Amino acid sequence: MNQSSGYLMLDIMDAFGPMYDERALMAGFINPRNKKVDESIKIIKLAAYNRSSSIKRLLSWSLAFIKALWFIKTKYPKADLFLVSNPPFALFIPLFCNNPFRVLVYDVYPDAMVSYKLLKQDSWLAGWWRNTNKKVFAKATGIYTIGNGMKQLLAAYVEPSKIKVVPVWTDNEFLKPLPKATNPFIIQQQLENKFIVLYSGNLGKTQEVEVLVELAAKASDTSLFFLIIGGGNKFQLLSDKIQESGLNNIRLLPWQETDQLPYTLSAADIAVVSLGKEASLLSVPSKTFNYLSVGAPLLCIASPHSELATLVKEYGIGECFHSNEADRMLDFITHLTNDQNQMEAFRQRSLATSKLFSPANAIEFII
């Protein structure tokens, strides 16, 4: 069960293929990108994740949970379960059935809700949820998460030795470097001669991407161009800021079609990853690894103590900054625009690192 399933989930389903005569994927939305869903996999449609408001988010989580639980109880009472913390309520399913199960934790709840001030630390609900986690994880036959920071959080609920870290991965067949002269997205946007700083992704409350407008205002190099692609709560805010600034070296675009992803991501000379301070231990965004596939150095807006900062430092694939360090960010960008040797070194390290985070990681869930 994974309410919003993509290439990662399909790779996991493929890894489980040799073990089972029948596989079913319960999901509200599936984005296979360049992959085909194996015809032998039965798709059970759940409510799609709706993040447009807190109420709609809660409702979509609840509906997906109820339908999944009904299917398990009525159709699959003896099936092995692989439950992803999307929706968060998915990990409550073992309270109502006796199926053997494994869990993959992308986000630790209620910790994430407490961090984002959606739930009080000392509330009755938070306490109940924490106790429930301990009961559920004690029964799981496998517990997986995507980073050491997440493992630290999970250690409050289960013995750390029972938690296996499996980093997310990218697909170097789907995403790869592409020369600007032959990139149809670059040509369409008339950016062939620009050095592009790209942010592509969710524009939610925790993404501190407004600093890109500030950077565009400070930049004096006419070849430098800032490109923001995505959607979310801050889209209109960013649109207003850009319009009010009168700048012509920054552009905001809505979400692009999935088949355009190889072209939009490969447009980046530098790729921006933003991680709110509340999520410093919680995750490394999957797009981080996708940027590596196209050879982009990373400019990360994140705590120096974050999982993301650790990754960037370990592999030498970029730099991390606080959101209030616009001048340091611009120095980093300007340095790379003027130092082709350093830029090429970053590119090669990004490409080399991408090969370490491949679909082969999915095998880690079955060994």
The three-state (H, E, C) secondary structure of the chain, written as one string: CCCEECHHHHHHHHHHHHHCCCEEEEECEECCCCCCCCCCEEEEECCCCCCCCHHHHHHHHHHHHHHHHHHHHHCCCCCCEEEECCCHHHHHHHHCCCCCEEEEECCCCCHHHHHCCCCCCCCHHHHHHHHHHHHHHHHCCEEEECCHHHHHHHCCCCCHHHEEECCCCCCCCCCCCCCHHHCHHHHHHCCCCCEEEEEEEECCCCCCCCHHHHHHHHCCCCCEEEEEEEECCCHHHHHHHHHHHCCCCEEEECCCCHHHHHHHHCCCCEEEEECCHHHCCCCCCCHHHHHHHCCCCEEEECCCCCHHHHHHHHHCCEEEECCCCHHHHHHHHHHHHHCHHHHHHHHHHHHHHHCCCCHHHHHHHCC
State the pLDDT at residue 208. Answer: 84
Average pLDDT, the chain: 93
36 pLDDT higher than 90: no
pLDDT for the residue numbered 281: 56
| φ, ψ dihedrals at 127, nearest 5° | -65, -45
All structural domains of the chain with their residue ranges: 4-169+358-365, 180-354
Give strand pairing partners of 142.
102
Span 155-176, average pLDDT: 94
Mean pLDDT of 160-172: 94
Average pLDDT over residues 208-220: 93
* Domain 180-354: homologous superfamily in CATH: Glycogen Phosphorylase B; (3.40.50.2000)
pTM (predicted TM-score) = 0.88
Contacts of 360 (CB under 8 A, 6+ apart): 169
Please tell me the predicted confidence (pLDDT) of residue 170: 94
Q: What pLDDT band is residue 284 in, cutting at 50, 70 and 90?
A: confident
Please say if the pLDDT value at position 282 is more than 90.
Answer: no
- The pLDDT score that the predictor gives to residue 3 is 97
Q: What is the mean pLDDT of residues 230-257?
A: 93
Kindly state the tokens that stand for 225: 């161009």
Does residue 222 register a pLDDT over 70? yes
Assess whether the region 4-169+358-365 and the region 180-354 belong to the same CATH fold. yes
Which CATH superfamily is 4-169+358-365 part of?
A: Glycogen Phosphorylase B; (3.40.50.2000)
Q: Which whole number is the average pLDDT over 99-109? A: 94
pLDDT of residue 283: 67
Q: Above pLDDT 90, what percent of the chain?
A: 80
Q: 105, 114 in Cβ contact below 8 A?
A: no
Choice between 212 and 303, residue whose per-residue pLDDT is larger: 212
